[in-house]
Structure 1
Amino acid sequence: MHEIEPYDNWQKYYRAERDMRSPFYGREYGIYYEDDVYGYYIDPRWDAIGSETLYCKILYADYALSACIIELFGEWNDTLHNDSMHFKRNVIDRLLLNGISKYILISENLLQFHGGDTDYYEEWFEEIEEVNEASGPGWIAILNQRRHIEEEMTKYGIDYYINMGGTLQIENWRTAKPKQLIAVVDQLMNRRLGA
């Protein structure tokens, strides 16, 4: 687990710890492994969100485009830890306040998902419609899900709120610049939403 690192090749474009509008503004990253998921230490550059098992990294935010890219790590567990609440309250709410209405969640390092209530997904889904009408319709897209996680999310009806699967399996996302990835996903989402 400690060898799984957040993607860092876009730091020349964006760093959440330097962004005053980011929920992680001012954070300093040490070299010591302190956080763990089920007893396995994780890279200290993952950002804690108040969950015991789910961590994230805001790889890029563009307030003019109303979009951000967030990499996920660990286990998303709504059954035991209500991780959707932690993620929504401690990360998403701050981004919503600053006009972000388009979310790309990269889930290659999301190892498990355990569903529960959908209240926070529904709230997030409703709020992105109200955030920034000038930037077009808001959306939430998960890229590169593991099949068992997509199946579990679908079983709990999360796919009603978050777009996943199919053309959102973009394996070569690291070869793009962040604005290019946002443009590609935005185009895919506009097709899906019929906008």
Structure 2
Amino acid sequence: MHEIEPYYRWLHLYNPAEDERSPFHGKEYNYDLYSENIYGYYIDPAWDFMGSETLYLKILYASYDEGYAIIEFIGEWNDTINNDIMHLKRNVIEALLHEGVNKFILIGENIFNFHGSDDCYYEEWFEEVEEGWIAAVNFPEFVQDELKNFNVDSFVNMGGSLQIDKWRTLSPQRFFLLVDQLIQRRISLY
């Protein structure tokens, strides 16, 4: 697990440690020391702690002018024991919402499991994005099934066309425009 790094090819375009509006502003990374772990397995030092022992993330890109953020995750999303959605919502999402972000792309390729609870924080987040949206991209199918079992799909767009294998070949702007187009297409169908 220590070999799974957050996507780093956009780092020259956006660095959350250098962004004064980021919840991770000022963080210093020691790439020689593996200190964070999930269930005893060390993870790459580039991942950011958000308050959960089992779920880490990296804000890959944020555009405050256009109101979107791209966030990658690693670990087990556990709302049952660790209340991960509360940590995510309170420690990361609320800071971004405060800065005008209302469109969230969540990349879940490295989510190994999901344990749900109630959907209150998801509903709260959904209501706070107002004209925006929340998109779960590349979450494994079995994780999507579990999210659906807990009604999370009522608040987070997932599956189907949001399984975008080529996202790493795109610039952050083009990736956002693609996801936005897919979401708008879904909205127009309803």
TM class by smaller structure? over 0.9
Q: Equivalences for 1:15-30 in 2 at 5 Å?
A: 15-30=15-30
CA root-mean-square deviation: 0.8
Deviation at 1:117, TM superposition (A): 1.2
SS at match of 1:16: coil
Please name the residue that 1:147 is paired with: 141
Amino acid at match of 2:29: Y
SS at match of 1:92: helix
Whole-angstrom CA distance in 2 between matches of 1:4 and 1:111: 12
Match of 2:153 among 139, 156, 159: 159
Please name the residue that 1:105 is paired with: 106
Deviation sequence 1:74-109 (CA, Å, 0-9, x none): 010001100000000000000000000000000001
SS at match of 2:117: coil
Structure 1 length-normalised TM:
0.95
1:190 equivalenced with 2:151 (yes/no):
no
Instruction: Detail structure 1 runs of 4+ shifted over 2 Å in the superposition.
Output: none
Deviation at 1:12, TM superposition (A): 1.3
Q: Equivalences for 1:124-135 in 2 at 5 Å?
A: 124-129=125-130
Please name the residue that 1:173 is paired with: 167
Aligned residues: percent identity? 55
Please name the residue that 1:118 is paired with: 119
Please name the residue that 1:66 is paired with: 67
Extract unaligned runs of 5+ from structure 1.
130-136
SS at match of 2:11: coil
Deviation at 1:193, TM superposition (A): 1.3
